[in-house]
Amino acid sequence: MNKIKILSVDFQKDFTSKGGICYEFRPSVNFIKNILVPYSRKNNIKIVEIISDYRQPRPGDRGQGDECHPGEWGYKSEIPSDIKLKNIWIKCMNSPIWTRKNIGNPNKKPGLPYQDPKAFKKWLNLTIGKPKEVKEIVLIGQTIDCCVISTAQELNWHAYKVSILKEATDTYSGSQKEKEIILNNPPLTNWAEVISFKDLKKKLETK
C-alpha cells in the first residue's frame, strides 16, 4: 500500500467548469484533468476526495456563498470515479470538520453547520489511515486561499505530514501572483510544504 495519499478538495463543477457559480479560469484545473488524472490512472493511484455541500444556511459567509447544491450540475465532482476511493467526505464550510444534518442529500433541507471532529477523524482513519500509517498527504483542488489551506491546517493538527501540489491548486481569483505569495509564506507554510509534480513522482516511484 502506498503511504503517500493524494487528497482532492472541492474539485466540483461550480469551481472548475465554465458556467459554475464560482468559476474563474484556474490553470490547475487543466493540470489535474490532463496530467494528474492520466498519471494516477496509469499508476493505479486512487485519489481520496472531500467535496462540499454549500447550500444555505451557512452563517459566517455573509450570504455570499450558495453553490455546490447536491443533485445539481455544480455539485458534481470532476475527479473520475475509476481513480478515486468511494468513501467521500462531504463538508459544508471551509474546514472539513464542519458538517450538517442532511448533508449531501438533495431531497432534504440542510441543517445548520456544526463541527464534528470525531466523525472527521474516523473518516480519516478509515479512508487514509492513521498518522503513523501514512507518510504524507498531498493536497490538490480548490482553492488554496480558502478550503485547501483550511484542510491543510486541520490535517496538520491531526498529526499528518501535509504537502500541497503546486501545479494542482489555485486561488479563488486564479491570480498566479496571489498563488505564489500564499504558497511561499505564512500562514500556509506553518502547516504544509509545497511540492512540485516532479517531486511527487519521485516520491511515488521510490520503492
pLDDT in tens, 22-72: 999 999 999 999 999 999 999 999 999 999 999 999 987 765 678 999 999
pLDDT range class, residue 200, cuts 50, 70, 90: very high
What is the pLDDT, as a whole number, of residue 59? 85
- Amino acid 118: pLDDT: 97
User: How many Cα atoms sit within 13 Å of 186 on the Cβ side?
Assistant: 1
CA–chain centroid gap for 145, Å, is: 12
Question: CB-based burial of residue 1 (10 Å sphere; 0-12 exposed, 13-18 middle, 19+ buried)?
Answer: exposed
CB atoms within 10 A of CB 204: 15
Mean pLDDT along residues 11-32: 97
pLDDT of res. 207: 57
> How is residue 44 written as a grid cell?
493505479
